[in-house]
Amino acid sequence: MMRFLPALTALSLTTLGLVAASPPAFAGGAVKEPTAIGYGGAVATVDADATAIGLDVLRRGGNAVDAAIAAAAALGVTEPFSAGIGGGGFFVHYDARTGRVSTIDGRETAPAAATDRYFIDPADGQPYDFTEARVSGLSTGVPGTLATWDAALRRWGTRSLADSLQPAARLADRGFTVDATFRQQVADNAAAFGQFTSSRELYLPGGAPPAVGTIQRNPDLADTYRLIARKGTGVLYHGAVGADIVDTVQHPPVAADPWGSWAYPIRPGVLTRDDLAAYRLRHPAPTRSDYRGLTVYGMSTPSSGGVAVGEALNILEAGLPTPATATGKLHTYLEATALAFADRNRYVGAYTSPSVVKKLISDRWAGQRACLIDPTKALVKPVAPGELNGSGCAVAATGRPVEEGQSTTNLTVADRWGNVVEYTFTIEATGGNTMVVPGRGFVLNNELTDFNFAPTQGSAPDPNLPGPGKRPRSSMSPTIVLKDGKPFLALGSPGGATIITTVTQLLLNRLELGMTLPEAMAAPRASQRNSAGIQAEAAFRLRYGPALTPLGHTFAADAPELGAATAVEFTRGGGLIASAEPVRRGGGAAGVVRPAR
């Protein structure tokens, strides 16, 4: 039986291996606080200004969807290398009136001209290098973010898209304070930004990344938001903004005097205005699985997040010995995610049938996979995927591991009526394809590089090769957990393929290891994605490695950080615990409408 907390006392992060600095103030007057406890609604994002904007909407009577879209638009200003109207994402909504969980698939789509050889160089028949493919027009899919915002507001919101864009437009005009994370993201992309006139003008003032403490403004994005507010989403999918997107993709704004050298030709893409006009959102049923009496809802395909998180939790539940020590639970968690990733890589893509999705998150399948777990010895990685038509512990041939970019953002919102939004959205790599649309102020996605460039599954079909109008597979895992039909926990994270393990580990920490939500958020992380070595933060390796290594687990090079999650927990009496990162990605920002006293 899990324990619910009516309130929390102060939490010492030093005991968890992480140390938070004093909360910084920002240009808009907002302050980053990683934990907030109270009532009346909650917002958690990676950014103080976005959280403040979302809370203001809630205080003015808006609901969770209104606040989520306003905060998301603000993140398009302050987190431009992770998300924005040049990208796409997945929106999960709990409706308190009906008790129903629904989703919006706003994933980007490939051009109609794309084939399964889209990322094969015709000159030599070999896949492009990732960086060559990324920094090009080839990598950009039709953005779905703006359509998602509009659809969510029309279906569940109380405010218009025009109203929801205004606070972010003001923020873009006024500017925000550059922190160390923002500056480092620019520095990491400086060579690519320097190739394009529009990108270097906005993000390399004077030829260098903006200094920490300076104010970053984006008047072009403010104007774009206001144009959309006046004319609607058609200005992107059928009008002038869309025309500029297509022109940028087909004719990258390469500078006549690029700053710095670049190793690859910058290839144009084939995206057309017809591709933009043909874009449609999808509304798939969420994935649903049960864990310890809780109901876990996630995102279905083309995301692999709901499938993989649900499968990993089911394997964890089936494979945990009774009783289990903390080491035993972590061992089973690492084995469960490796097995789930083997199945995800083999079977999950945009066109995976609902019957296969249902099978992968079934208890019967979990039992078939959990029977491989030895509580005294780690499996040799990579493990083979399960055999869909087999029985017992039957496995198929092993495929090759695949990865995704790391840059995404996530927000969690709840309102006073009990509605909940969990929203993960992205432009794929940090900085997307690194091209700012001239005069429009936003970066384009490189989402199509989430396709596998060439087959990865040997003689078996690869579910994630490019195709006309196809959506690339994602690991985004916006998750809502219900207890007795009511919200208990909503959570999500950025981090490419590590999103799946971050969300699963947060649930493990909270539900199995007895941590409070802020403790679960701050605890060190490890990610086993069916590779020979576990990717882990140093604090995890140092704390748990001595017990896990004798079981046969090995560690790869330390990861600086894994994920940048947000979450909201619902406590008795209408209480809320909003939680964001205390340290990762510079720390997140959580807030509630009425703080507990």
Give the integer Cα–Cα distance in Å for 481 and 472: 26
Q: Which of 248, 408, 434, 479 is catalytic?
A: 408
- Tokens 């999705």 locate to 357
How many angstroms from the chain centroid is the CA of residue 65? 18
Give the integer Cα–Cα distance in Å for 94 and 108: 23
- Tokens 């097995």 locate to 339
Give the integer Cα–Cα distance in Å for 459 and 403: 20
Give the integer Cα–Cα distance in Å for 587 and 584: 5
Burial 389-412 (b: 16+ CB within 10 A, else e): eeeeeebbebbebbebbbbbbbbb
The encoded tokens of residue 219 equal 């008047």
How many angstroms from the chain centroid is the CA of residue 134? 18
Give the integer Cα–Cα distance in Å for 511 and 445: 36
- Give the closest residue to 65 by CA, choosing from 159, 143, 138: 159
Active site residue 408: yes
Cα 497-477-47 angle, rounded to 5 deg: 90
- Give the closest residue to 410 by CA, choosing from 35, 45, 78: 45
Q: Are strands 566-571 and 420-428 parallel, antiparallel or unpaired?
A: unpaired
Sign of the C-alpha dihedral, residues 506, 313, 405, 438? negative
Report the 3 state secondary structure along 542-578: HHHHHHHHHHCCCECCCECCCCCCEEEEEEHHHEEEE
Give the integer Cα–Cα distance in Å for 386 and 396: 6
- Give φ, ψ of 355 to 5 degrees: -65, -35
Q: Residue 228 is inside which H or E element, if any?
A: helix 219-231
Answer whether 225's CB lies under 8 Å from 168's CB.
Answer: yes
Residue 238 gets which letter from DSSP? T
Give the integer Cα–Cα distance in Å for 141 and 223: 23
Long-range contacts of 458-462 (CB under 8 A, 24+ apart): 458/397, 458/398, 458/399, 458/400, 459/397, 460/346, 460/396, 460/397, 460/399, 462/349
Active-site residue set: 408
